[in-house]
Every structure is written in structure tokens, then in C-alpha cells.
Structure 1
Amino acid sequence: MTETASRRPLPVVGPAGGRARATCRFRCGDACYHEAPNTSDNAYFGDVYAGLLSRRGMLRSGAVGAAVAALAVGGAAPAAAGPGNGGRHAGPRLEFTPVQPNADDRVTVPSGYRHRVVVRWGDPVVPGAPEFDFARQTAEAQEKQFGYNCDYVGFFPIGSRRALLWVNHEYTNESLMFAGYTDGSDADEEQIRIAMAAHGGSVVEIERTGDAGEWRLVTRGRRPYNRRITATTPMKLTGPAAGHALLRTAADPSGTRVLGMLNNCSGGTTPWGTVLTAEENFNQYFVGGEGAPEEAKPALRRYGIATSGDTRRGNRRFDRVDERFDLSKHPNEANRFGYIVEIDPFDPHHQPRKRTMLGRFKHEAATVRLTEDQRVAVYMGDDERFDYIYKFVSDKKHRAGARRHNDTLLDSGTLYVARFTGNSPAEQIDGSGALPEDGAFDGTGEWIPLCDAQRSYVDGFTVAEVLVHTRLAADRVGATKMDRPEDIEASPVTGKVYCALTNNSAREPGQADEANPRAANRHGHVLEITEHRNDSGATTFTWTVVLVCGDPEDPATYYAGYDKSRVAAISSPDNLTFDRAGNLWISTDGQPGTLGVNDALHVMPVEGRHRGELRTFATVPVGAECCGPCITPDDRTVFIAPQHPGENGTLEHPTSTWPDGDFPRPSVVAIWHAKGRKVGSA
């Protein structure tokens, strides 16, 4: 039976964008309820269409629906050719029995699979940390315990049976952490300090149990790598912007030292064994923007920081315990957040580095690939409506085993922003989601240089100004406005790069373009990028929209041309990963508000005859989004991080009691096949 054979109707409910209102409040400061910060007059590329380009490859014939010509596109040839299928990678078929959509308060996995919670909010991390006591929380204890709202998960093996997990702690929901909480203005100051300690990230040691793929937290012994990083951990600013006047404060006149990181969402790992963690919605932690210098206000507004009205009510009010969060007193403090932070999980004494060369924006993801000549490329999204996709390429080459040399790679290179051009006439992209006459949303693109370590390529901007006010620099060069670029990952089989564009309900019909083809895009889509000659150092690429999300029964959806009667519904793609076979795993953030069912982890082949056959692998509890995911190198385990379970409720009126049956606790979960087979197997 196919997954959709018994699929019940999926209602469209909830606020614009799909998230619960509580999620909007605590994660991003109600970003979608305000005007998008990008008010630039950058042309949507449909406005600058310069002629229909010749199609690359051949169109496979397919059924034509009432509103959509369901043609599958061959697209550009992949880097790695497999046997058969005209030289294309054949692409395996997924064999597991899909999980049905549901609204259950639990993690659901396919038949034949098992799962367990590996680590949850409050679990002791640092040796000597106290056991979690919900009724008697303290900041001192939380600094040693697993933080709140886990997001990105990175896996670092130590031999064959032990490993380290790096986990981001994106944000806190104080309404689910403290009884009777209203907002930071009325909160006890110790509660504010606890929340600050629950941000950041954790390094925890885990061990394999048995041979099937089960992992558990190591709770005894030295655990020398275990570590907590919080909103007050000392960090170093590096790269060309370090020391610039825009980064100097009264507490740090050097402009090179900062305390903590905030709202870390997705991330990546490097070939030299470090983690890159991405600061995202940092804007919501600052107050006092109305009292900032007038010359600073345009940049503050471009980053979503309020510069008028009452900026304190409803905020977490970190400024009540640390005045650096008050921009009327310290207007440059906000400029010290919004970076990619590099951390060594194997060195508990390593001081985290905020790499200014990778730009400052609401970072989502930091996926590393080596270029053809062994330089380092980092792909990054800016998670905001109408913001941009970026890439950094280092000057120096990666050297295997040369840790001191590799520690310098992210401090010099070229920062780029993407411009997309469609190959269909603008009148064929009407915002409805209907495919153009050539049967695909696709085209060409270029990486526009913003600066390198010595030179700015943006008129009126110095190098440091490009790196601190990256959004403003990207506005100036005419980058393409996208529908909330989130995670970006590369296929280990073909080298193609995939970007999750989560949604954008604010896009109007006249603003639709071929890379963002739907107006009021509540469900999002996934973009596939093929760099020229498959070289991540290239400055040109081709692209195609491989997945237009939503209910398959909606004609405005597209699954790479696959038979939509045989696929699962999906909405709001967020985090991505790949297994070794090259299947794309997609976690979601917003399905309860758009499809009326819990968020989930889906998987979809992106090559071969099963390209587009999306299936649901796991669902998460009520109110949670599915973060992670992370697949171990042997493909035996997939980790997910159900974030904000019960987000619609309060402690007094809970909507979830996962995972322990009392109060909701964000956690990391391991999923494996009971017989030790690779994830995705039957």
C-alpha cells in the first residue's frame, strides 16, 4: 500500500507561515507578523527576464493534469555517473513502510525500527552537574546541564563505539520552563539567567549499544570532552572585521572579544573536525533601539531590530541582568551577533571563534565542501522572508592533518551572494505554482562577489562594513530575494547542492519569480543547484526547483515529476541531510499550521527513476518541529531533535507531556533499524 492510499484530507489551518504563535514569539520575535526587513528595490528576476534560454537536457514525457503539466525534468548532468539510466546515478528505491500523518504526542517510526531519547533538556552534561530539578532550577545548574530547544546535531566519531554529539540550543520558551511566566519584564532575574544559560550548545559523549544502531548518553566516568557553551561564554571575533569601530563597545574597546552566542539554529562540520554553528534570530534579544544613534538605526532595522515604540515589553529582557543588551547604552553590541561560530568539540578549552569573513545575517546552515583545487567553500542561507543565499570560498587550500593551518581558512577568502535567472518568460510565472511551458522551474545563476579580505566589491562599503552589514551590501548588488533560505546541503553522490526554502506567505503574485514561483508560499520548496563543472569554487551555476511542497492533491505542488498519488504531503522544509546513497532527508517546521498534522522527517531520492518519491520516515510529538537530522557515517542511525514539544500550551495547560509524561522537554532521539540495516531499508 502506498502512503497516500489511506491519506486523510489535510486541512490548511494556523497562522501565516505555519508556525504556532508561541514559536513565533520565542524563536524569532514574531518576525512574520512584522514587515519584512528587506525593503530594498532589488528586482525580482522575473522583472529582468532577458530572453528564453535554451533548455538543457531532454524532457521526459508525463501526464498533464488539469492545472499543471506534470513533466519531469532531466536537468543538468550530475557529477557522478552511475550504471544504467543513461549514465545518471541510478538512485536506490526506499523500501521502508512510510509513517502515516498523525497528531500523536510521541515520536513515530516505521515498522521494524526502534528509537530512544539520547539526551533531554536538563540532563547533566559536565561531570559533577546536578540532576535536573524542575521546581528548583538555577542558572549555575543550567550552565552544566543540557540546554533548551535543541536544533542542529553534529556527529563526531571516537573510534567505532563512541562519539561526540554537538547540539545547538537555539532559544528558550520560558512559558514552558517556568510556571506562571508572562514576559521578561515581570520575570525573576534568576529566570532570565537560567534562560541565558539554556542557550548556546552542548558537547556530549555517547556510546553505541549493541550492533544495530542504538546509542545512549555516557553518564559515568571522566567524559573529558563534555562541555556547555552559553550566552555568556567568552568568544573571539576573527577575520577582517575584527577590531573595527562597528564592533567596539565599552566592555570591549578592542572589538575582538564577545560574550556568548544567541539563537543558534543549523550548522555544519569541517574536514578538520570542528563544528560551525549559525547564529540566527539574534535581533529579538536587544532592547533600546529607539535610543540608539540615528545613524545606526537603518542598519538595525534591516536586521529586524525595532528602533521605535516600546522595545522592552514582551522581550526576554536580558538587559535586566546584563546591560549590553540595551542598545540605547551599547548600540554596537548587536553588531557582534549574527555570525558563524567555529568550535572544536574535541578541545573543551578551545575558545569559540566568530568568523566575520563569512558575513553577518540571520545565519542558517554552514555546509562545507572542498573546491576542485582543495579550497574551502561554505554555503549559507539567511532565514528571513525576501533574503538571500550566500557562499564563501577561502583563499588558502585545506591541508589534511594541518590543524594550525586549517584554523586560518575561514578568515580570508571571498564572500558571495546569489543571483538567480529563470529561463521562462515572466508571463509564464504567474504565482500560482503552475509550471511554465518548458515543464520546469529552472535557470542559471551567478555568485556575485561582495568582498574579499582586502577589497570590497560594493560601492560605498569598506570590507568591514560589508561583513558587519552584509544584508545592506547584498541589497546594493541586486541579489535575488528568496523565500526564507534555511538549510543547505550537498549530495555526497553527485555534488549537487540543495537549499530548503521554508515558506513566505508575504510574497505577492507580482513578486513571484522562477526560483520562488508561488505567491503566498505557505508550504515552501527545495532548490537544486549544480555548480559549473561541479566545482564549489565556480561563480556560475544552473538550478532547478526539485520539490514544490504542500498536499500532493493540490495542483500547485511538484515532486520532480513523480506520480503524486504515490508521495507524502510535506510543508515548510527546514533542515536537510543526505545518506550515503544520495537520498535527501528533509525535516519540517510548520506542518501543524499548514497541513494539520505533526511535523516530520521525510526522505526523497533525487536521482534516478524514483526521483521525487517522497516518503515520511518519522513524525515528532505535538507542537514540536523536527530538527537535526543527522545520519551516522555507517547509515545505521539517524538522530533527530524534536524542538519545542507542546509549544502551543503552558505548564498549567500542557498540549504535550513528551518525552517522560510530565512536562515537555526538548530532546535528541536516535532511530535505528531493529536488525541493524541501513536507515531507509525495509
Structure 2
Amino acid sequence: MTSVRPENRPLLALAAEGTRHGSRSHMTCFFRCGNACDQPEPNPTDHVHIRDEIAKAVGRRSFLRGGTITAGALVVGGVVQSGGLAAAATQAPRRPGAPTGHGALRQAAFAPVEPNKRDAFVTAKGFDHDVVIRWGDPVVKGAPEFDAHTQSVASARRQFGYNCDYVGLLPLDEDEALLVVNHEYTDENLMFPTGAYSADDIKRIAIASHGMSVVKLRRHKPAGSWKRAGLGHSRQNRRLHDATVFELTGPVAGDARMRTSADPTGRNVLGTLNNCAGGTTPWGTVLSGEENFNQYFDKGTGLDPRYAAEYARYGINGSGKGWSSVDPRFDLSKEPHEPHRFGWIVEVDPYDPTSTPRKHTMLGRFKHEGANVALAGDGRAVAYLGDDERGDYLYKFVSTGRYDARGTRAARANNLDLLTRGTLYVARLVGDGTEDGVFDGTGTWIPLTTDTQSFVPGMSVADVLLFTRLAADKVAPTKMDRPEDVEPNPVNGKVYAALTNNSNRGTASMPVDEANPLAGSQVRASIGAPLTNASGNRNGYVLEMTPDGGDHAATTFTWDLFLVCGDPAAPETWFGGFDKSKVSPISCPDNVAFDSAGNLWISTDGNVLGSNDGVFRVPVAGPNRGQVQQFCTVPKGAEACGPLIADDDRSLFVAVQHPGEIDGATFENQASTWPHTDAFPRPSVVVAFKSR
């Protein structure tokens, strides 16, 4: 390992100004997404698509019809216990690892965690947590114990990667399961001691620290707690990284625009980058979304003019991380097709550690937050997808084939093929006017392409799937406020989308509409500070969609804004009709999950209300519909990712991403030391459970 003097440490320069995403630090914005919010808006379209009364002054809306109660709901301890729409009968069997019982997280009444700035993982009283696995912990055989001063590419490819995000849990037997986790991005300022590594060594290790991990877990005590099994030597453990081969599937595989010097076939890609959220399929695989992939590519001697419009729509401008100095595939002047090989949904089979992971081109290419699958009434697989950018769109995919539940080898082969053929849609939402006091309306799924026929004039099937954003622009879908996690509720059959925020909402290029109504909100600079006005949608929404006829394959739906997030004291907020004086403040919803009662669990990213981020429980039906209660907060500078309710509702898994990522922090001057096992922070997965 080449040493350099401390003053020559290759720290990356951070932007000093610019609109931040929520309360994110400049560090987070730089390392996670390449300062996406400071760049020109990738979506330049100005199509008019909403027929409604534009929301002019939100004020104190009564939302007269927003708090409906689902017939037949039984409420115990203030939390919905059963019931839901008839659509629930058409849902997929519960995915492996999903809750099926009556655990404490579903039933318990708890005092919500108060907003705080502690450097700790804080749970509601009566609950506790364990750290399951940390950055650098051994994953596969041969992995050394972690030492920040002796990191290498070889060790990074065997250890738990940096900045964990999506969390999935797939059962093996009564006492063991496989944990599957994404590693979204790296923060070189916090990872590397000054003077210990050369600039190129840092880049190589950072590249290897991306990807995914599969780790075997074993039940622990008390009930709901889990620990690692095998300490990195389990046969099922796996580390997917920059040297892992991923197979491309679907119509774009082999396309000339997918071919590179290293892969003249255009069918095999090394690695997966910026993996954000994901989902577990009914057939026991994990889907992972490649999100801000655009930031990894350097300009080199210049951008290929053939792809000027396509690059621009995806935010590919050549302002990369300098990785081309250690790997020429990140030089756009040498390999203009390499970015086309990222931005896909990845499918991994955790049960088969020898299987080749795949990138499914049939699900379109954009900044995927993740993918979550339900089954239509006729057994077709339906995947819901969000494109995480200001002013981008909601999508769904409906397979041609049908899910086979027989459990045979032939059935599994059939199911593993479901995401390779079907129809890709984009959503248009229409408001019905705000005279009724409710932000709601109807929606249509507009077909973009099947695997054999494009519905977008002037674009082939491969064009639509490779440049999905440009294809969608042509059919005038609804520009949303950063659609992130989109997930079907297995109990009531509705679909919930986290719309994190949009500081540009209300500008000339992004006017308000009924689905995105706020051009201003009220926020707090710190805990206890007075509310102040801020432009744009600073706190985000949770969108609730109901497929017509209760069938996920339907091409029409109704919708409402279930939550208009923010401080309950702010007049624009709305909590499903629940009493605003009895809810927790919530800001910047990011990921969603459900327990076996159908209660919604929300994790946040970029809270602007003066507190650390956290995870919240919210009933979606019954008299407590909309009762937002904060269950936990994460440490200083961190984001709450996941979350996952598992083990018969006894376990809440949370990925604590980028603890201590606060402006000015360095390896020698850390803003956090969580989980307090070292003098520096380590992104980690934790599991929360009921105390003894």
C-alpha cells in the first residue's frame, strides 16, 4: 500500500453552497448522489397533465373525506389488527422473511421517541436493539478482521461493504435466515486515515466496497434478536462486488449500445453500483435498484456526441469520482456505453451462492430506488418502481408469465424468468379538484413497451428500455416529488409510495398540481425552534394508490395523499385524518414496509424538523388511520434505511447508513463514533425487538 504525506491526502472537494436535500450535509449530497439537487433538472418537459384546481393556498384544509375506516377492521391497542380491502385476496403469498404472526411490533402501544440529536440508536421504551453486522465485518471465507489502517481491495471484497441500505431476510429453517443488504456508496473522507493510502488505492478500495452482501443469521435471545452465524464462514454467505459478473436479460441484452471493449457481447456487466432500496419476490429472490449511477463516470477527453440528449436526461455530465485513473471503463471518452450498463433492477438468488446475478432490462433504466412485487389476480408478477429524481415518474411492470407456486424445480425456473418478458408502464395522476378538501383523484398506467412492441412513436423496444426517461417524457406522465420506495401492502391491497421532497416544486418548470400540491412548507431549524417558511415541498408525502378492481394488473387506479408530512403544528400537514395533536412530526419519507396487520412503517432521510432521522409506525385503516408514531431514531448524521419487519413481527431491521456524515468530519475528526466499537463510525445493520 503506497503511503502519502497527510497534506497530500486525496480528499474530495465538497460543494460549499447549493440547495440541500432536506437536512443532508454537503458531504452526503456529494458522496451519495454527486450533488444531484445542485445540477440542472434532468427532466426539461413542460407537459400539462393534471386536470384539477391547482392548489393555491393549502392552509388549514379539513380533508373531509380523507379518514375513511375500512369495513371489518378490528383495532387492538390502537393498531389495526386485521381486515382490509377485498383486493387482499389477490396478493402474493407472503414473501420469505415477511411477518405472519402477532409479534410485539405489530401490537404494542408505545410512547413515541422524542426528536433528538443523540449519537445513538434510540428505541421506544420497552424495546432494545442489537448491532447485527458492521462495515468491514467478515462475510466470506478468508476475510480478515477489519482494520481501517490495512484496508485492501482483496479484503473489501470479502468484508461487509460500506453504507448499507436495503435489508431483506429470507428463511432457511426455524432458527436461521439469510440477510441480504445493499451497499450504496462510499465516503472516502470518513473511511480512510490520513496519509495511509494513495489516491488510487482509495479509489480501488472504494469501488470494491460497493455492491451487496448475503449473510447467514441465527435467532438469538430475547425473541426477535438475531446474530451472525458462522462468523463469515457460512457456505451461503456471499459478497457481490465490482468483480462479480452480472448477466443482462431481456430485450436490451446484446444491443450494440451495451457493448464495450471488455464485453463485446453486451451481455455481461462487472458489478452493481449505488444500490439503494429493493424487495423480496414471492419466489424467494431479492431485487435491488441501481440509483445514482451517473456520478461514477469521468469525462475523459470528451463526451460522445451521439448520446448528448441521453446523457443529459440521466445527469451524466462527466463529473465523476476520478475512478477512470484505476479503471478505464469509467472514462466516457473511452467507453461511452459503460453507463448504459447501470441503472437497472438487479435480481439475486440468495439461496444459491453459485448463481449468476442478473440485471433485468425489461424493467427499464432510470435511477431506480427499488422494486417490489405483488401478484395480479391471474398470477402475473407486478413490480412497482420509483425513479428517485425531482420531477420524475412512477412505473410498474406486469409480467407475461404467471407465478407457479408448486415448489418444483420447473416452477422455480418459470418464476426466475418472470421479469424478462412483459409490459412496462408509467403513471399519470389526475386530480378531481380540491373543493372536496382532499388531495385525491384517479390514475392511469400508460404502456411504454412490451418485450416485442414499443408504444412510443419513433422508439424501438430497446430504445424505450435503455432510455426509459426519454420514452416516458413523450407520453406526458405526472412529474412527482422524488418517488422513492413504492410497495404494495399485502393486507389491504393498496400501494404506498414515499415521495421524499422537492425544493423546486412551485417553480415555473415544476408547478404544483393536486398530486404535488405544496409550493411552500414550514420547517424548524432545530429542535424547539419556531416554524419558519421554506419554499418548495420540504417534508414530502406518502401517496396511497388503490388498483381498480383490487387487481395489480389493472391499468387504472384511484389515489390520495395519505400523509402530507411535516410538523403537526404546520397548517399544511395532514395525517390521514388523524388528530394532529397526537402524532409524531415526520419529514422526508424514504422507504416503506408493512407488518402482518398492514400497518405502514416509514424510514426517513433528511429530516428538516430539527431531529435525527428515524422509523415510524402508521396504521392505514380503522380509527387510528394516520397515527404517526416514531419508533426509533438513528445516530447523528445517519439515515434510516430498510426498514424490514420480520420474524412474526418481533424484529425490526434497520440499516443505519452514513453515521457521522456531517460537514467537516474526517477520519481523525469524526462527528460520530457509533456504534461505539471504534474511534470512527461504521455503517451497520441493527435489529430492534421487545425487551425481556
Does the TM-score normalized on the shorter chain lie above 0.5? yes
The 5 A counterparts of 1:393-404 are: 393-400=398-405, 401=407, 402-404=411-413
Contact 1:232 1:261 in 2 (8 A): no
Corresponding residue number in structure 2 for 1:666: 683
The aligned residue for residue 468 of structure 2 is: 470
Q: Match of 1:58?
A: none
- The equivalent residue for 2:620 is 606
Q: 1:360 touches 1:469 (CA, 8 Å); kept in 2?
A: yes
Give the conservation status (yes or no) of the 8 Å contact 2:58–2:572. Answer: no
Any idea what SS the aligned residue of 1:212 has?
Answer: coil
User: 2-side partners of 1:454 and 1:415: how far apart?
Assistant: 11
Tell me which residue corresponds to 1:413. 422
How many angstroms apart in 2 are the aligned matches of 1:599 and 1:181?
Answer: 33
**Shift of the alpha carbon at 1:290?**
6.8
* TM-fit CA distance, 1:292: 2.5
Q: Provide the C-alpha distance between the structure 1 equivalents of 2:220 and 2:193, rounded to a whole number of angstroms.
A: 37
> What residue identity is the alignment partner of 1:286?
F
Tell me: CA distance 1:217–1:237, structure 2 relative to 1, closer, same or farther (3 Å): same
The answer for the alignment partner of 2:307 in structure 1 is 296
**1:9 — aligned with what?**
none
Deviation at 1:578? 0.4
Q: Measure the CA separation in 2 of the matches of 1:66 and 1:393.
A: 36
Is contact 2:181-2:214 (8 Å) kept?
yes
Task: Check whether the contact 1:247–1:256 (CA below 8 A) recurs between aligned residues.
Answer: yes
Q: Which amino acid aligns with 1:18?
A: S
> How far is the alpha carbon of 1:666 from its aligned partner?
0.1
Q: CA RMSD in A?
A: 2.4
1:111-122 correspondence runs (5 A): 111-122=125-136
Q: Measure the CA separation in 2 of the matches of 1:319 and 1:150.
A: 25
Match of 2:657 in 1: 643
Q: Which amino acid aligns with 1:241?
A: V
Q: Which amino acid aligns with 1:569?
A: P
Match of 1:460 in 2: 458
In structure 2, relative to structure 1, the CA distance for the partners of 1:19 and 1:258 (3 Å cut) is same
**Distance change >3 Å, CA 567–CA 292, structure 1 → 2:** same
Shift of 1:271: 1.0
**5+ residue gaps, structure 1:** 1-12, 53-64, 425-435, 676-682
Within 2, Cα distance between the matches of 1:187 and 1:339?
A: 32
Question: What letter is aligned with 2:347?
Answer: E
Tell me the amino acid that sits aligned with residue 264 of structure 2: P
Aligned to 1:280: 291
Distance 1:14-1:646 versus aligned 2 partners, 3 A rule: farther
Partner of 1:574: 590
1:268 counterpart SS class: strand
Q: How does 1:323-334 map to 2 (within 5 A)?
A: 323-334=328-339
Residue 448 (structure 1) aligns with:
446
Q: Taking structure 1 as the reference length, what is the TM-score of the superposition?
A: 0.88
Shift of 1:15: 3.3
Q: Structure 2: which 5+ runs fail to align?
A: 1-17, 86-101, 520-535
**TM-score normalised to the size of structure 2?**
0.87
Residue identity opposite 2:423 in structure 1: T
Q: Which stretch shows the higher mean deviation, 461-470 or 252-261?
A: 252-261
Q: State whether structure 2 residue 60 is matched by structure 1 residue 68.
A: yes
- Match among 133, 156, 159 for residue 142 of structure 1: 156
Looking at structure 2, the residues matched to 657 and 14 of structure 1 have their Cα atoms a distance apart, in angstroms, of 28
Q: Distance in 2 between matches of 1:251 and 1:264?
A: 23
SS at match of 2:137: coil
Closer, same or farther: CA 572–289 of 1 in aligned 2, 3 Å = farther
- The separation in 1 between residues aligned to 2:19 and 2:336, in whole angstroms, is 36
Query: Does the CA-based 8 Å contact 2:363-2:419 persist in structure 1?
Result: yes
Retained in 2: the 8 A contact 1:577–1:584? yes
Which residue does the alignment assign to 2:202?
191
Counterpart AA for 2:624: H
Q: Is the 8 A contact 1:76 1:530 kept in 2?
A: no
Asked if structure 2 preserves the Cα contact closer than 8 Å seen for 1:289 and 1:305, the reply is: no
Letter in 2 for 1:503: N
Q: Aligned-pair distance for 1:633?
A: 4.1
Question: Contact 2:364 / 2:466 at 8 angstroms: preserved in 1?
Answer: yes
Does residue 563 of structure 2 align to residue 547 of structure 1?
yes
Aligned counterpart, 1:317: 322
Aligned equivalent of 1:154: 168
> What secondary structure is seen at the aligned counterpart in 1 of 2:362?
helix
Give the CA deviation at 1:272.
Answer: 1.0
Aligned counterpart for 2:255 among listed residues 244, 248, 253: 244
Question: How far apart in 1 are the matches of 2:68 and 2:41?
Answer: 34
Contact 1:233 1:259 in 2 (8 A): yes
Q: Contact 2:400–2:421 at 8 Å: present in 1 too? A: yes
CA distance in 1, matches of 2:200, 2:271: 18
Shift of 1:77: 8.6
1:285 maps to a residue whose letter is Y
Structure 1 residues 575, 83: closer, same or farther in 2, change over 3 A?
closer
**How many residues in Structure 1 have an aligned counterpart in Structure 2?**
625
Native 8 Å contact 2:566 2:585 kept in 1? yes
Q: 1:222 to 1:654 in 2, by over 3 A?
A: closer
Query: How far, CA to CA, are the matches of 1:14 and 1:217 in structure 2?
Result: 40
1:264 matched to which residue of 2?
A: 275
Asked if 1:535 corresponds to 2:527, the answer is: no
Whole-angstrom distance in 2 between the partners of 1:88 and 1:577: 18
* Alignment partner of 2:574 out of 558, 573, 584: 558
